Structure 1
């Protein structure tokens, strides 16, 4: 009659074989490392996209500011809505035009320029945009803002600076208007 209980030697032999076997170890190791690897990969990709979007916003700001610098916006009598439309005409598919905020302010000298934060104490965006392109020879600061949504904010990696997992992208151009002939700007 055969015994249902395996002998101690056969159990040891089975354990020894199991210990020496390397089949499946790569899958187990990958399963342990995969979540951290993919979280890191997505965080790197999202950070790169945010930096790319910031650079695109900088380019749009420089190109749009040229309209004011040369007096074309003042000569054309651009309103804030018209200048916003001009800016939106340069925006690629990366941004939504309705979420781009444009602030244009003029100053008598560079020393009188004040740049305030557009984020309040509760990490909310302050929308107090103005449009004053100035006259010939005035100092002008053009700022564009965009609230970029973030998706990889877990595992201790969070680059948001606004509530609701968003990052405020800001681009600024400061310059002295060229001498141009136009009606004085009412600001």
Structure 2
């Protein structure tokens, strides 16, 4: 009967052959580098997507502010709900329109403008206002959105709110054109 325990010489030969064999070295190296590579790749993609979404929010703010700037919203007697619907029509599927904070405030002079923060100390949206003003008034339109961040679990945390969210803000400040008031 032969022994199933290999001799020390055959064990050394087995180790020598294992060290010389390079067939799986690329797979092992990839397994070591892949998590870092994919973490970096996902962080880059998420950052680019966040910047793209912020630019879309800026564009929607500028387009929506033009309705007030030219007096169209005032002449059509837009309510806050109607203006929100108009803003939502300018925002693509990147955003949940029910989660966008829309604030419109006006003042008769630049020194009287009061720009509110869209969140309180707890990161919750405060109650927005809707005051588009009249002809020649100074108006500030703000849109805020809590953008979800997904790559934070991999050590890349760009969230500035609790719950893994980043606050995006876009604003437009302008003086209304001299339009005629009323419908």
Equivalent residue runs for 1:1-187 within 5 Å: 5-122=5-122, 124-183=123-182
Task: Check the 8 A contact 1:125/1:162 in 2, yes or no.
Answer: no
List runs of 5+ in structure 1 lacking aligned partners. none
Q: Deviations over 1:163-185 (max 9, x none)?
A: 221112111001111111104xx
TM-score w.r.t. length of structure 2:
0.90
Question: Hey, what's the Cα distance between the residues in 2 that align with 1:53 and 1:96?
Answer: 12
1:113 offset after TM fit, Å?
Answer: 3.0
1:145 offset after TM fit, Å?
Answer: 1.3
Question: Hey, what's the Cα distance between the residues in 1 that align with 2:13 and 2:129?
Answer: 81
Q: Return closer, same or farther for 1:3/1:75 CA change in 2, 3 Å cut-off.
A: closer
* Range that drifts further, 104-113 or 131-140: 104-113
1:130 offset after TM fit, Å?
Answer: 0.3
Question: Hey, what's the Cα distance between the residues in 2 that align with 1:82 and 1:139?
Answer: 21
Task: Check the 8 A contact 2:118/2:128 in 1, yes or no.
Answer: no
TM-score w.r.t. length of structure 1:
0.88
Figure out how many residues of one structure are paired with residues of the other and give that number: 182
